[in-house]
């Protein structure tokens, strides 16, 4: 499986997240950082359960599910990660630092998931929702289909 687009290294993204938290007065606790780091190391879609299991192995101790969910909620609130609504899988955002809707291409065969970096789509969606007085709580758009490697030859 091909890795999803990464314009920044995991290291640089972590540093950026750190700086953003400081600027916003948000606490980037060791647990929150650990979860984000884990997701950046393998930027495909992961379930909360899978993340927790990996984290437990890494930290060599048992974790309470709320600990992990709280960390994920924080990362989502900061716009560092997104959650796919169809599978409830979490993904690190590939362009953190600006509020936006996650727009994803999801391959139904191999699971490869790519985040589109297209601000016109996100902006149009926000404007459309606003025009209806609609408040978006989970700004994720998923396009399901087959990736370049899985699609049938034309």
Q: Does 3 bind Zn ion (CB under 5 A)?
A: no
Whichever of 12 and 150 has its CB closer to Zn ion, that residue is 150
- Annotate each residue in 123-152 with x if it binds Zn ion (CB under 5 A) or - if it does not, as one string: ------------------------x--x--
Residue 31 φ then ψ, to 5°:
-65, -45
The DSSP 8-state label assigned to residue 45 in this structure reads -
> For the sheet containing 140-145, what is the strand order?
113-116, 102-107, 140-145
Tokens read off for 79: 């716009």
Whichever of 56 and 87 has its CB closer to Zn ion, that residue is 87
Other beta carbons within 10 Å of 107: 19
Q: Site for Zn ion (CB under 5 A): which residue of 22, 24, 58, 109?
A: 109
Q: Site for Zn ion (CB under 5 A): which residue of 35, 102, 105, 113?
A: 102
Whichever of 43 and 102 has its CB closer to Zn ion, that residue is 102
Q: Site for Zn ion (CB under 5 A): which residue of 1, 59, 110, 143?
A: 110
Asked if residue 121 lies in contact with residue 65, where contact means CB atoms within 8 angstroms, the answer is no
Residue whose structure tokens are 């969606």 = 125
Q: Given the rule CB under 5 A, which residues bind Zn ion?
A: 93, 102, 107, 109-110, 112, 147, 150
């Amino acid at each position: 499986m091909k890795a999803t687009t990464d314009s920044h290294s995991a290291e640089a993204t972590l540093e950026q997240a750190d700086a953003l938290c400081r600027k916003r007065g948000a606490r980037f606790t060791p647990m929150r950082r650990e979860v984000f780091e884990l997701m950046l190391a393998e930027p495909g879609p992961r379930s909360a359960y899978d993340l927790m299991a990996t984290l437990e192995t890494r930290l060599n101790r048992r974790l309470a599910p709320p600990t992990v969910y709280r960390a994920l909620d924080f990362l989502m609130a900061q716009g560092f990660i997104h959650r796919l609504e169809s599978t409830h899988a979490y993904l690190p955002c590939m362009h953190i630092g600006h509020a936006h809707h996650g727009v994803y291409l999801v391959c139904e065969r191999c699971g490869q998931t790519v985040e589109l970096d297209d601000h016109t789509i996100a902006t149009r969606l926000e404007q459309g929702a606003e025009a209806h007085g609609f408040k978006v709580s989970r700004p994720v758009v998923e396009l399901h289909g087959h990736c370049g490697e899985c699609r049938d030859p034309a």
